[in-house]
Amino acid sequence: MLLVSRMPGGEPELFGSIQGEGASAGVPSTFIRLAVCNLQCSWCDTAYTWDWKTYDRAEQTMSVDVEDVLARVRSLPARNVVITGGEPLIQRRQLIPLVEALKEHGYRVEVETNGTIAPGELARIVDQWNVSPKLVHSGNEGLARLRPEVLREFGALPDAYFKFVVQQPGDIAELEEVRALAGVPAERVLVMPEGRTPEELECRGRELADICAERGYRFTSRLHILLWGDRRGV
């Protein structure tokens, strides 16, 4: 069984859209949003998956078996599946049979992670890792937001891309420290402005795009925010 996010209507948060961020931005995708996270980012836009002081866990989560998840994925047209959260690798053992089943049916699988939990057996079957180490501005005081040995493990995977959420140009120095720690080349680094409105993304994105052009990083915005705003199920 997988613990997944529950939509307000009672269905699991599993939906079709386009990938809004990162190396595969724009690709038609089916999203599976898992619940629970080991970090507590102050600007998180999916806090309903982990913030049980603000949200009721019983209302926001539900257990779904692998067969049900697979059937729901197969009812949607996209052949790219994005497993997100929360932090998916908290449930990495439970994910193995799901990913194996998806691969048997010809799906391409991406997993989004904060880079604090090693991929384990999933490393051999996941097509793309979207690793997003959290910088100081994420507000994770007292939590282990960076685990060097895990970051190096992801950095050694050729299909792992590192996406950094950046609030201001001054964050780039910290980004580069983490990149060096992980040993990931510049061409697999993506810089994304922090923001939950089109206006915030545009304002922060302009200067960051120039920095990416200078340093060889990729720039990514948040297409789903630009197209549909900050709402669930898109």
Q: Which pLDDT score, from 0 to 100, does residue 148 have?
A: 97
CA–CA separation, 60 vs 48, rounded Å?
A: 7
Residue 3 pLDDT class (50, 70, 90 cuts)? very high
Q: Which pLDDT score, from 0 to 100, does residue 15 have?
A: 98
CA torsion through residues 196, 172, 123, 20, sign: positive
CA–CA separation, 29 vs 150, rounded Å?
A: 27
The residue behind tokens 């790219």 is 80
Q: Which domains does the chain have, with CATH numbers?
A: 2-164 (3.20.20.70)
Is the backbone peptide bond immediately before 86 cis, with ω within 30 degrees of 0? yes
Q: What is the mean pLDDT of the chain?
A: 97
CA–CA separation, 189 vs 181, rounded Å?
A: 13
CA distances from residue 207 to 138, 168, 193 in whole angstroms, order as listed: 20, 9, 10
Q: Which tokens is 109 given?
A: 């699988």
Give the full edge-to-edge strand order of the sheet including 189-193: 14-18, 28-33, 80-84, 108-113, 128-131, 160-166, 189-193, 218-219
- pLDDT, average across residues 43-63: 97
pLDDT tens-digit map of 31-43:
999 999 999 999 9
Q: Which pLDDT score, from 0 to 100, does residue 108 have?
A: 98
pLDDT tens-digit map of 83-133:
999 999 999 999 999 999 999 999 999 999 999 999 999 999 999 999 999
The candidate with the shortest Cα–Cα distance to 25, out of 161, 120, 125, is 161
Instruction: Count the alpha carbons within 13 Å of 17 in the hemisphere toward its beta carbon.
Output: 22
Q: How far is CA 180 from the centre of its chain?
A: 21
**pTM for the whole structure:** 0.96
CA–CA separation, 105 vs 80, rounded Å?
A: 11
Residue 170 pLDDT class (50, 70, 90 cuts)? very high
Residue 26 pLDDT class (50, 70, 90 cuts)? very high
